[in-house]
Amino acid sequence: MIHLEKVSKLYRTERVETTALDNINLEIAKGEFISIMGPSGCGKSTLLHLMGLLDEPSEGTVALDGKAIDRYGDRELARVRNERVGFIFQQFHLVSDLSVADNVEIPLLYRKMPNKERRKAALAALDRVGLSSRTRHFPTQLSGGQQQRVAIARAIVGKPGILLADEPTGNLDSQMGDEIMGILEDLNQNEGATIVMVTHDPRMAEKTHRVVRLFDGRQVQ
């Protein structure tokens, strides 16, 4: 489903060249739940961004469903991100000016869909993460755990098939972290979602099918 071959990512400034990822080879199958671990700055988030088509590799190939992303233009990339990928961020990245339901609707705004249907899907996604009573609230009125649930609802509302979670429990206490992890496991087991999760927490990583370890941009496991 997600295929990375000899992927490297370099960041260049006028003076310095930094290698964020070096020769990564990775195959993620449909329905897998894998975690990416490693110390800060080892390239975990960069790897996730490459898988989510938010960034392009300096070398190598990233392919989604067998098609390399360097063949996509801006519009096509946007369409694939919209239909195939759902992101969950450590910082939640909810739009503070929008209500919970409006935030969840965001991915569906970029699809041809009647307003009523869009709202119905958003409410269903919020129900799925146990937040159907908070639809009219604003993000700042919610706890961290609740905000992350909204972010998960936003990620799954378009039924993308692939969920990319960047330290989804990193900003939460252990109890809330467990709740979020429970939702992700459920999505993987019962709805067949393919999940790639960046985490620092070995306890969370243990619950996934496979762990990919990075060190200084290189894959060590």
Binding site for another protein (CB under 8 A): 49, 52, 54-55, 74-75, 78-79, 81-83, 85-87, 89, 91-98, 102, 105-107, 109-111, 115, 139-140, 147, 154, 158
Question: Which residue bears the tokens 């060249």?
Answer: 17
Q: Are 25 and 62 in contact (CB under 8 A)?
A: no
Of the candidates 26, 27, 22, 25, the one whose C-alpha atom is nearest the C-alpha of residue 11 is: 22
Q: How far is the CB of 179 from another protein (least distance, A)?
A: 19
Taking alpha carbons only, the member of 119, 204, 211, 121 closest to residue 160 is 121
From the CB of 200, what's the least distance to another protein, in Å?
Answer: 18
Specify the residue, 94 or 198, whose C-beta has the smaller distance to another protein: 94
Q: How far apart are CA 161 and CA 21, in angstroms?
A: 25
Q: Of the two residues 141 and 207, which places its CB atom closer to another protein in the complex?
A: 141
Nearest distance, CB of residue 134 and another protein, angstroms: 14
- Taking the C-alpha atoms of residue 208 and residue 32, their distance in angstroms, rounded to an integer, is 8
Of 29 and 78, CB closest to another protein: 78
**CA distance linking residue 115 with residue 58, whole number of Å:** 40
Q: How far apart are CA 31 and CA 2, in angstroms?
A: 11
* Minimum separation from the CB atom of position 46 to another protein (A): 8
Write down the least CB distance from residue 217 to another protein, Å: 16
Contact 19, 180 (CB under 8 A): no
Closer of 79 and 207 to another protein (Cβ): 79
Q: What is the dihedral of CA 208, 210, 212, 213, to 10 degrees?
A: 80
Q: Which is nearer to another protein, 90 or 188 (CB)?
A: 90
Residue closer to another protein by CB (options 40, 140) is 140
User: CB of 218: closest distance to another protein in angstroms?
Assistant: 21
